[in-house]
Amino acid sequence: VHPQDSSLHLKLVRGENLNPDAKYTALSYCWGNDSEVLLAKALKTENLESYETEIPWETLPQTLQDAAVTTHRLGMHFVWIDSLCIIQDDDNDKVKEIAQMAQVYSHATLTIMVNRAARASDGFLHQRSPPLGTSNLLFRSPDGTEGWVSLYFKHEFWYEEKSKLDKRGWAMQEHLLSRRTLEIGTYMTEWSCRKERGLSSHSDGWSTDRLTRGSGSPFQ
């Protein structure tokens, strides 16, 4: 993943050509009813060679584009996406790569889990609104630092995110194996590692001054 004009330049890189310590993200998402569209642009025997030069940005479903953008914003250059890293019309490659899925997710620096998108074309880097009934209170700590406290009612819709990705068995495996996760939900973004969790219910998701987290160890 490298910047190029107004978009990003993507190409396929073989694992054996990577430094074993290379940092990368892994994407966990739903294909949904976009399977045919996704497969049309997926890695196949016929485009394997050309994808090693460039994967056409404009042909990628929005969720895949957003995963590449997120990876770049986090300062990493590699992202693992099943439809682009497994040769979809090669049964031998499928068997080989599926057997290595546990290693892919357990070794990833971060797993991007897209709970809010029911299909690959939905994307996830959209403006979001706080849940209904949310009140934001400005506060100033004794050292002068300002921040926000969000108050909300715990309605039933708070659990709506579980209706998409979290209902799939393979997604549960990806979640459990991951060292760190960035979960993109309908209302919130959640960060987690082996020792800590953080939550943001605001649309800007990236702002640390709106991150709510418990006391304890820093993110690792």
Q: Note every long-range contact of 91-94, with CB atoms under 8 Å and residues 24 or more positions apart, other chains counting.
A: none
Please tell me the pTM assigned to this model.
Answer: 0.77
pLDDT at 202: 43
Residue 152 pLDDT greater than 90, yes or no: no
Cα radius of gyration rounded to whole Å, the chain: 19
Q: Is residue 136 part of a domain?
A: yes
More confident residue, 82 or 140: 82
d(CA 46, CA 130): 45
pLDDT range class, residue 82, cuts 50, 70, 90: very high
DSSP readout, 121-168? TS-S-----PPTT-EEEEEE-TTS-EEEEEE----GGGGGGGGTGGGS
Q: Is residue 115 part of a domain?
A: yes
pLDDT at 218: 45
pLDDT at 22: 93
d(CA 93, CA 48): 12
3-state secondary structure of 79: strand
> Among residues 123, 120, 4, 125, which one has the least CA distance to residue 54?
4
Q: Is residue 220 part of a domain?
A: no
Domain count, the chain: 1
**194, 127 Cβ separation under 8 angstroms:** no
Buried b (16+ CB within 10 A) or exposed e, 24-36: bbbbbbbbbebee
Q: Which domain holds residue 112?
A: 2-213
Please give the structure tokens belonging to residue 102.
Answer: 């546990």
Q: Is residue 11 part of a domain?
A: yes
Encode pLDDT of 155-193 as tens digits.
544 554 454 676 777 788 888 899 999 988 877 788 888
Q: Is residue 218 part of a domain?
A: no
d(CA 10, CA 124): 19
Q: Is residue 103 part of a domain?
A: yes
Q: Is residue 9 part of a domain?
A: yes
Q: Is residue 38 part of a domain?
A: yes
In degrees rounded to 5, what are phi and psi of residue 219? -65, 140
